[in-house]
Amino acid sequence: MKKVLVPFWLPDEVKSKYKDKVELIHVENPMGVMNFDEITEAVVDVNALVGKANRAIIDAGKNLEAICSFGAGFDAIDIQYAGSKGIKVSNAANGTTEATAELAISVLLCLSRRIRNQSRRLHTLNKCASGGGYFSLSFDDAMPAARVFGKTIGIIGFGKIGKAVAKKAKGLGLKVIYYDVYRSSPEDEERLGATYMTFEEVLKNADYVTLHCLYNQENHHLMNAEAFAMMKEGAFFINTARGPLMDEKALIGALKSKHLGGAALDVYEREPEISPELLSMDEVLLTPHMGTSTYDTRCDMICEVLDNLIAILNGEDIPSIVNRQYLK
């Protein structure tokens, strides 16, 4: 039976589902995650790997035939080097969609309505008292709360997650504009009430700009000082995709100058490090890379990952292979 290394704990329901299909090598501690050295040691005699893989891990995996990222993004896997070794790399984009879209909309609402700040105020005052006057509605140096209904959301990256965000945003009464390298079909645009614009047009017209594109070297610092300057004054920026898509220093500058009304971040340029300036800003909402952090979502994701790996190990040509051009 082929062996699959999963560098974290697995629920009993998942182990039971796959017990007759592959031998799962995994962590026994529910809170445990293998570190680099442990993965490098454990990958030696397995046939497939879940998650990150640099050259050292790939070289250690003498019997590796397949790697699958735990999610849609695969920037933490050296897909070119894996391909040169004949190892097929796939991603698992389906299980992440709804949970990540939910988080994007959740932080948009929390940021816009200043929910975190108001909650913190009540914890401090020990009584129900909103900040500011009836029309100023501001209780610190940050921007006042803003209604989302009737505003415009600009979605950068209109794949599965971007479309899921658009669907939810439409339900909240937001106008949807988007940019993607590949324009969506007229049917999808009509169904989602989405209008295609250029990247620059989205930045200039959106009250909320939210990123939902994959990261690669071509779009490193996609959101730089020039891009933030294009955004509407008082607009909000949201990133639940990948940290290096944004220039954190440029974002901080746009926030400190009050050009932007606020930002919500689930990912960071130098993760796990977070800029002290971001941590100190009242108009910034920060979450710990938790886009898919729900139990049911993680179960869906690992099942999709294992199904992909088993299919590759069985010689099937699945559509989610992302390194075909590098395979030898």
Q: Which CATH superfamily is domain 97-286 in?
A: NAD(P)-binding Rossmann-like Domain (3.40.50.720)
Please list the active-site residues: 242, 271, 289
| Cβ proximity of 215 and 241 under 8 Å | yes
| CATH number of the 3-95+294-326 domain | 3.40.50.720
- Written as one string, the DSSP assignment of 5-60 is EEEEE--HHHHHHHTTT-EEEEESSTT-B--HHHHHHHGGG-SEEES-B-HHHHHH
Do the domains 97-286 and 3-95+294-326 match in fold?
yes
Residues of the chain with pLDDT > 90, as a percent, come to 85
C-alpha dihedral sign at 107, 112, 115, 116: positive
pLDDT digits (tens, 9 = 90+) for 126-180: 888 765 565 555 545 455 678 899 999 999 999 999 999 999 999 999 999 999 9
The pLDDT of 106-131, averaged and rounded, is 84
How do the domains of the chain map onto residue ranges? 3-95+294-326, 97-286
**Can you give the pLDDT at residue 93?**
87
* pLDDT band with cut points at 50, 70 and 90 for residue 123: confident
High-pLDDT (> 70) share of the chain, %: 95
Distance CA 170, CA 167 (A): 5
Using left for φ > 0, alpha for ψ between -120 and 50, and beta otherwise, residue 87 falls in beta
Mean pLDDT of 70-97: 94
- Termini Cα distance of the chain: 25
- Residue 304 pLDDT level (bands cut at 50, 70, 90): very high
